[in-house]
Amino acid sequence: MPRVIVYSTPTCPYCEKTKEFLAEHNIDFEDVNVAEDRERAMEMVEKSGQMGVPVTDIDGEIIVGYDPAAFKKALGLE
């Protein structure tokens, strides 16, 4: 099972869609609320070069935004 981290905020609709996608495919993930955790927010920016959410880290592969096709490819669901 790949290690999956979703960097998100509570008010982001695409963050919710990302988490719903992962849950629907029975993928365990760590949900990091970057609105409350500045250190993890900086980690997200270092990994992605982005300030916006969602940012999803799937075993080191960084996906910015809600991108089901990229999620499927990174997770081997194709």
pLDDT in tens, 17-59: 999 999 999 999 999 999 999 999 999 999 999 999 999 999 9
The answer to whether the CB of 64 falls within 8 A of the CB of 55 is yes
> Is the whole model's pTM more than 0.85, yes or no?
yes
Residue with tokens 């993890």: 40
Residue 78 has pLDDT above 90, yes or no: no
Architecture of domain 4-71: 3-Layer(aba) Sandwich (3.40)
Q: How far apart are CA 78 and CA 32, in angstroms?
A: 26
Helix, strand, or coil (residue 6) = strand
Cα-to-chain-centroid distance, residue 24:
15
